[in-house]
Amino acid sequence: MSKWPVAGHEGAVRSHGVDLFMPFFGVDSDQNSEEQTEQEARSSFTASLLRLIAQETGANVPVTFRKNGADGNQTININLVSFAEFQDSTNTDDLVSGDEYTLFAEGSLNGMHGDTFQIWAYQTTLDSSSDLAPIANANPTTSEFEAVIGNYTNTATPTNSEYTHRTARTLTDLVVFVTTAGASRTFHTHKNGSNGNLTVSTAATGQVRDTSNSDSFVDGDEWNWHNDRAATGVQVSTISVETDSNVGVIGGGGTGAVTSTTSFIGFGAGFELEGETKNQSTAEGDATVQNLYVKIVTHAETRNVRTRKNQSNGNVIVSVTGTGVFEDTTNTDDMADADDFAIEQAGVTGTHIYAVVAIEWEPDAGAPPAVIASKRMLSNLGI
């Protein structure tokens, strides 16, 4: 049974009285609309071991796994003033293909008292006999080209948001859910600088999918997303595709400038300053971490980007000496049950922008077909 850590990152200080929906695979939350943070299960699996890093300054805040618009079984109560890790190690939620899921923090339960709460990294673990390979986003953007992981976007330079495959995979069944429609738009896979075969077009809200076409990628192929419409007020909440590979990709990246000497990536986000513990994920089963990929678009001085395991240096590392792509396709880290995992960048001074930072995560058990679920909230998309 393969086990995937499916993570997200919030980070903002929230006032009591505010309810918060938080997507897996991203950093952006939506206080008003649950559907804009929901992920779609593309196969049957069990979600378990809900965990998060948080603190609060007043009344308790319950955090609940949500399934198809209703409370699921996994729940956590944030009930400490100081920073702490919380986990539900008892309850599970069974999901089948087509189920929608997200995370809900009920900040309004005890009213508004001037107190605050803050949630950093959060995750659930997916157990599946057919592996789930998560490549996902939940970040608003206004650009034409978007990375398949993290929150980097760019209109003028499509290569800046590309990710290089190191595992062969075929993508099928592209699904896009539109929450706000202003005019017809087309969304594509983007392969090696050109539009791929998977394409959906719509002028209305709701779900649209391409079940006819496919895109096959081999080692060295580039991939990102392409929206070919001008800004029309369109907002997309979910993008997902199926794949036949059991090797997935986790990581992040973004447009935010990194000036700190040492920081850690929030999965689905860019590099955050809060420290390693608040940005790490936890393996709940054996896996191999491999093929570190770094795309940097602004560079000031040499920095190392590397894996971290249980708050110590891992084996996978690249030395970033300029702009462009840097990879470690040789070294690996073996993850076991309860191992903590993070990605660190460290240097001296200067401003850097990491567009994509990704690592392949291969569970030690499982069989294809797998699912890549990509969730993104796109607002005012355009050329």
Q: 2-128 — its CATH code?
A: 2.60.120
Question: Any idea what the Cα angle at residue 298 is, between residues 292 and 301, rounded to 5°?
Answer: 80
CATH 2.60.120 fits 145-246+368-379, yes or no: yes
2-128 and 145-246+368-379 in the same fold: yes
pLDDT given for residue 112 in this prediction: 62
pLDDT given for residue 288 in this prediction: 94
Residues in Cβ contact with 70 at an 8 Å cutoff, skipping those fewer than 6 apart: none
pLDDT given for residue 306 in this prediction: 95
Structure tokens at 167: 């595992």
- Measured in Å, how far apart are the chain's first and last C-alpha atoms? 43
- Structural domain spans, the chain: 2-128, 145-246+368-379, 249-365
Name the CATH code of domain 249-365 (choices 3.30.450, 1.10.3470, 1.25.10, 2.60.120): 2.60.120
**From the first residue on, what is the mean pLDDT of each consecutive set of 10 residues in the chain (383 residues)?**
79 80 76 78 87 80 94 91 87 91 86 76 82 60 72 78 91 79 79 93 81 95 79 65 80 79 82 82 90 90 92 96 94 94 85 88 59 38 35
Please state the pTM of the whole predicted model. 0.86
pLDDT given for residue 277 in this prediction: 87
As a whole number of angstroms, the distance between CA 345 and CA 358 comes to: 13
As a whole number of angstroms, the distance between CA 347 and CA 337 comes to: 31
pLDDT given for residue 28 in this prediction: 63
pLDDT given for residue 366 in this prediction: 43
As a whole number of angstroms, the distance between CA 146 and CA 134 comes to: 16
